[in-house]
Each structure stands twice: as structure tokens, then as C-alpha cells.
Structure 1
Amino acid sequence: MSGHSKWHNIQAKKGKVDAKRGKIFTKIGKEIAVAVKSGGSNLDGNSKLRDCVAKAKAANMPMDTITKAIKKGAGELEGVNYEELMYEGYGPAGVAVLVNVLTDNKNRSASDVRCIFDRNGGNLGATGCVSWMFQRKGQIVIQKQDGIDEDELMMKVLELGAEDFSAEEEVFVITTAQEDFSTVREALEKENFEFESAEITMIPDNTVSLNLEDSERVQSLIDKLEDNDDVQDVWHNAEFAEDFEG
């Protein structure tokens, strides 16, 4: 039920999570703190916080680290006030790129992001220049394993309100409307499904197919952006070459 294979991008992202776990935990911790400040520290009454905690658990973030982030957001521990910003631009080969930032200094972040685009074959654009090409969706990724029946899982998630279900090389990818994400995720959690990832993401309406050289150039830009401490997420519409290792 999917328009194109998502697994290459998911696999590449998972590899980076594994390799940079400490930095990933820091970034998710910032998301948790911001969610607490906007909606309170009670998980039952704050769906955004529940989603952030689910994302943290999927990344194998320790529970004491999650608790500490919640306390920072609630003011029980010393923390920093962050502002959420979105930058938009183009990478090599005309790939559309969205950069989500949480920062305590927007001038620094704007300068850093612009510099990374400029030095890696891209250019930062005006607000709205590429965001219209994406839709904000929930995405849940479940590893294929014995005991999970593909047809049963597909029927289950569609009955729960998911928009799309696809079986990729090694995983099942479930896509939901943003407002239905928590309902679908929590129902699967209650049935003890374990997630490779579970998050709100930006999914492109169409993708740009890349050759090997352009795949390497685009991935280099993404890596540089993700290495920046202020950058939370990088979304793009690249379809990498099949022989690209990432």
C-alpha cells in the first residue's frame, strides 16, 4: 500500500541513531522538555509528551534519562528555554530539505544552518519554499520477526485508523494522520509490539531519484546538519540510488 520504498531512508536513519546514541538522547531530551513546558508533566493529559516518550523508548533511551528530561521541562531541575524553528532549502540535485531546530539562540542556529547549506552544495530558502511538498504524518516502524503475521497486522492498524501500511525489506512501516498517531501507537503498545521508531515526521508527496554521486552529496549535507547540536530533525525528498550504502 505504499508509493515507494521507505526502508533505505529508515535504515540509514537507524544506523545513525545507533552510532550517535548520546547525541540522539540529548536531542530527544530537549523535545521532552519542550513538550512538558507546553502541556505539563502528566503523561495522561499531554499527548505530545506521550509521543516524545514513545520516541525515546524506541531509541532505547534509559528511563532515568527520560525522567530527568521531564523534570527539566517542569522546572524541577535546571534547564534551558528552547525555541522551535523550521528552516527550508534545497540540497544538491534540487532535493527539498526541511530542518527542524530547537535552540536557545536563533541567530546562532540561523547562521550555522545557512553555512552548512552553503558549504555542502545547497542553499537556504525562504519560509514556505519547500514545506508545501511535505505532509506531517505519524510513522511507526516495526521489525519483521517470527510471530508477526503481516496480513493480521495490516488489518489491525487499518481498523485502528492508520492511513498506510507497507512491508519493506526488514520492517513494517505504518503511516497515520498526525491526529491519529497516538491512538494507533498506544493500541499497538498495549499489544506489546516493539517499535524500531515511532514519531511524527514529514513525508514528501514526491521524491527525487538520485544517482550514486548525488546520493553521496545529499547524504553529506544531511549528516552535517544532523551533527549540529541545535538540529532536531532533517527531512528530505531524496530517493537514494539503490547501490548507495549511506
Structure 2
Amino acid sequence: MAGHSKWSNIKRKKTINDAKKSKIFTKLVKELTVAARTGSAEPEFNPRLRLAIQNAKGANMPKDAILRAISKASSHDVAAYHEVTYEGYGPHGVAIMVVCMTDKLIRTVANVRALFAKYGGSLEKNGAITFLFDYKGVFTIASVDIKDYDDFTLGLIDAGAEALENDGACAHVICPVANFGNIQKHLETESIAPTFAGLEYIAHTFVQVNDATLLKLIKLIDGLKDDDDVQKVYHNIDLQPDQEALWG
């Protein structure tokens, strides 16, 4: 099965310290709350909530925190969150997609626009850069949970996976959105619990940048990720091997 050669460029992340972990938990709580509020509070009857719980566990979120987030969804005091995606260009024409979950759209768009401007980018109209990305199902599985890699790969092909890459620590499975449920069921049948599962934007056109530009882009991307309203940030930077140290 062909590997997705650009996957490592997209998913490289800096080491997560305690502050970053706190931000991640905040974003997970939002997703748990919204998932429970938009459907049943019982995971077996709510696929989105089941997925949110799975991802929270994969991020080592404490069980009591997960239960509190789900319980909070029934409270009338909880803000009504809106999901919105913003598109823009960073320095050197790098495409950046920002997925947000917010209770105040005016605040969020103002913050996102200000960050783009601060680091030499620009916020664009919806649809300006989506053609540079594919919307795909993504699963991340710890390598230690894979008993036989050949059987694992063949099973995924039969379930509808289109790409698989192993970076040593994890296997990253990519599939068409239509096959997401099939992959999920196959992994459940094999008693394999992904550390992450969801729908992601994956770039298919990439931009190389010099080191100075990359540093500006890192500040922009980190600034966006640090915003409480931002859930995910996607980009199409073609990170070169000698730039990995700059990325973190």
C-alpha cells in the first residue's frame, strides 16, 4: 500500500508541554460538549460523541474530565458554539486553514484576522484555498498496538483505506470520507483503539519556504493554535529535512 509521502510534513508538532496540554484539553472539552449537545449524551447512540471520547482518551484526558464535559452539555448556562472555518495566506503564499469553535463569531474572526496581519499574512474569503486541500478521514494508531503489520495493512485496504504511513511510533491511515465508518468498524473488530480519528484537511499542493519565512509561519501557526477559539490549523508548508530543528 503506497505511503502518503507528505503526511509527515503536515503532522509534525512541537513537544507538548503542560501549557500546550492544557490548551489541547480545552479544545477537547469544547468538542465533547458540542457533540453531546447536538446529539444523544449516550455515546452508543451518538457517533460524534463516541469519536470525541475516543480522541480525548487518546490525548490522555482524565476520565472524570471527559464525564464532566459531557454532563456540562445539558446545562442551560453553556454557551452555544458555532463551528466555522477561516482561510488565509501566510508569508510566501502558504495556504492556511483555521477551524474554530466559538460562541462569539465577531471576536473570533477579529482575532484570526489580526494574527494573519501581524505575521505578514491575509485572511481570505471562504473557498479561496480549499482547492489546495483534500478532506479525508484520518486514523492514528500506536505501532505497539499492531501485532502483524502485513495483516493490518491488508485489512485496512479491504476496509477502504487509500494510504498508510508508519513513522515508527505510529501508523497514520488515510481514507476517503465515505469509507471512514468502514475503517472505524474494522479497527473496532480488531480491538484496536486509535489515538486519534477524525476528518482532516490534507494539502496536495505544497510550498517550500526559506528559514526566515518559516520562522514567521511558525509564529503565525503557533499564535493561531494558542487562541482558545481555534480547534485546528492546517497548512501546506513543504518542510525540508534541514528545517526540522526550526520547527521544533
Kindly report which structure 2 residues correspond to 1:144-159, keeping only aligned pairs within 5 A, or say none: 144-145=143-144, 148-159=147-158
Q: Which moved more, 1:137-146 or 1:46-55?
A: 137-146
Q: Deviations over 1:36-81 (max 9, x none)?
A: 22222121221111121121111111121111111122x1474221
1:218 lines up with 2:217 in the alignment: yes
Q: CA deviation at 1:109?
A: 0.6
1:61 aligned counterpart, secondary structure: coil
Structure 2 CA distance for aligned equivalents of residues 72 and 146 of structure 1: 33
Structure 2 CA distance for aligned equivalents of residues 50 and 229 of structure 1: 23
Unaligned 5+ segments in structure 1 are none
Please name the residue that 1:50 is paired with: 50
Q: CA deviation at 1:191?
A: 2.8
Kindly report which structure 2 residues correspond to 1:181-196, keeping only aligned pairs within 5 A, or say none: 181-196=180-195
Unaligned 5+ segments in structure 2 are none
Q: CA deviation at 1:153?
A: 1.4
Q: CA deviation at 1:18?
A: 6.7
Structure 2 CA distance for aligned equivalents of residues 52 and 190 of structure 1: 19
57 and 33 in structure 1: CA distance in 2 versus 1, 3 angstrom threshold? same
The answer to whether the 8 Å contact 1:215/1:241 transfers is no
Please name the residue that 1:70 is paired with: 70
Kindly report which structure 2 residues correspond to 1:168-187, keeping only aligned pairs within 5 A, or say none: 168-187=167-186
2:240 aligned counterpart, secondary structure: coil
The answer to whether the 8 Å contact 2:208/2:237 transfers is yes
Q: CA deviation at 1:110?
A: 0.9
Q: CA deviation at 1:10?
A: 2.4
Please name the residue that 1:59 is paired with: 59
Structure 2 CA distance for aligned equivalents of residues 171 and 152 of structure 1: 16
1:138 lines up with 2:137 in the alignment: yes
Cα root mean square deviation, aligned: 2.2
52 and 211 in structure 1: CA distance in 2 versus 1, 3 angstrom threshold? same
147 and 119 in structure 1: CA distance in 2 versus 1, 3 angstrom threshold? closer
2:194 aligned counterpart, secondary structure: coil
Q: Which moved more, 1:52-61 or 1:166-175?
A: 166-175
Which of the pair has the greater relative contact order for Cα pairs under 8 Å at 6+ separation? 2
Q: Deviations over 1:11-33 (max 9, x none)?
A: 416x3487611111111111111
The answer to whether the 8 Å contact 1:7/1:169 transfers is no
Structure 1 CA distance for aligned equivalents of residues 50 and 59 of structure 2: 14
Q: Deviations over 1:107-130 (max 9, x none)?
A: 111110000000012110011101
- TM-score by structure 2 length? 0.89
Structure 2 CA distance for aligned equivalents of residues 114 and 103 of structure 1: 15
Q: Which moved more, 1:2-11 or 1:18-27?
A: 2-11
Q: CA deviation at 1:147?
A: 5.8
Instruction: Tell me which amino acid in the other structure corresponds to 1:53.
Output: I
Please name the residue that 2:25 is paired with: 25
Aligned residues: 244
Instruction: Tell me which amino acid in the other structure corresponds to 2:56.
Output: A
1:126 lines up with 2:122 in the alignment: no
- TM-score by structure 1 length? 0.89
